[in-house]
Structure 1
Amino acid sequence: VENQNRDYEALQAKLADEKYADVHNQEQRAKALAEENDTMKERHAAEVSALKEDHDAVVQRLEAELAEVRNLSE
């Protein structure tokens, strides 16, 4: 019976260690995913900003060309 108790306790300890390792790995993975998400959000914001600047530049150029065409037609 003592051997069975020791085996049972050893098995319980092993399972507890494995559970701790699994939880730790899940926490690390969640942290890595959160960091990756933050990085992607920052990259997306930078891309949106660059596209807005490009859009604004195109609008200004087209408005200038339109004004030039209007002046020529007058």
Structure 2
Amino acid sequence: MRLVQFTSLLLLSAALSACGLGETAATAATTANLQAQQAQQAQQQMQQLKQQVDAANVQNQQRLDDALKQSQ
């Protein structure tokens, strides 16, 4: 009788720990997916900021050129 209880307890523990491992793997996969999305969004934001800085630099250069022409 003791052996049956011990075996049942052992099987129950194994089943519960397997569920935990599956949940941990699913959580890790979800976290990795979210991190990949965040990295992609950060890359896009960086590209947009670079374009904005480049546009501002072009505009500033045009203003400088115009000011130099007017001063001559």
TM-score relative to the length of structure 2: 0.98
Which of 2, 21, 24 matches 2:22? 24
> Take 1:28 and 1:6, find their aligned partners in 2: how far apart are those partners?
33
2:59 alignment partner in structure 1: 61
Runs of 4+ more than 6 Å apart: none
2:33 aligned with 1:45 = no
1:33 alignment partner in structure 2: 31
In structure 2, what residue type is equivalent to 1:50? Q
Structure 1 gap ranges (5+): none
What is the aligned length? 72
Structure 2 gap ranges (5+): none
2:11 alignment partner in structure 1: 13
TM-score relative to the length of structure 1: 0.96
Q: 1:19 Cα shift?
A: 0.8
